[in-house]
Homo-oligomer: A and B are copies of this chain.
Amino acid sequence: MKKSIGAKTLAFPTPTWVVGTYDMNGKPNAMTVAWAGICCSTPPCISISLRKATYSYAGIVENKAFTVNIPSEKHLMEADYFGIASGRDENKFELACLTPIRSELVPAPYVGEFPVVIECKLLHTIEIGLHTLFV
């Protein structure tokens, strides 16, 4: 028997990905996103969804690039912090005691201490509603 719970953004699993960007002054920033994933094989692409209000949004638009950093369990606390604070108010890398390293491939920083990083060039920007999809 089907029971409606309405149109809600409930689905699982979601990843815990930390998006690395530079702001317009070149300050490295990091933000945790859960609405993200692979979206194409050729060219290999991932998509991430961000609200316009986030500080990272402007960084991606400015540099047309971002990194996706996948934390290990060891950095659970830092990944959580990156998801609740804003780079507009604080230097998140400094406060999390993590190292922003400039990517050699794209104008974006990655988290030196995380085991996996994906370096991304912005290919598409799709305005959906409150969130924007970056590919």
A15 in contact (CB, < 8 A)? yes
A77 in contact (CB, < 8 A)? no
A135 in contact (CB, < 8 A)? yes
Neighbouring B residues of A131 by C-beta, 8 Å: 39-42, 45
Does the CB pair B40–A11 fall under 8 Å?
no
Task: Say which one of A19-27, A30-38, A80-88, A89-97 lies at the interface with B.
Answer: A30-38
Question: Complex: how many Å from CA A124 to CA B68?
Answer: 24
CB distance from A89 to the nearest CB of B (A): 22
Copy total for this chain: 2
Neighbouring B residues of A68 by C-beta, 8 Å: 11
CB distance from A120 to the nearest CB of B (A): 10
Does the CB pair A40–B124 fall under 8 Å?
no
Give the residue name and chain of the B residue nearest to A68 (CB): B11
Decide: A135 near B124, CB < 8 A? Known: A13-B13, A70-B11.
Answer: no
CB distance from A32 to the nearest CB of B (A): 15
Neighbouring B residues of A9 by C-beta, 8 Å: 38, 40-41, 44
With A12-B15, A13-B14, A124-B128 given, name 17 new contacts (CB 8 A): A7-B44, A9-B41, A11-B37, A11-B46, A11-B70, A11-B118, A13-B13, A35-B38, A35-B39, A40-B49, A40-B130, A41-B51, A42-B131, A126-B126, A126-B133, A126-B135, A133-B133
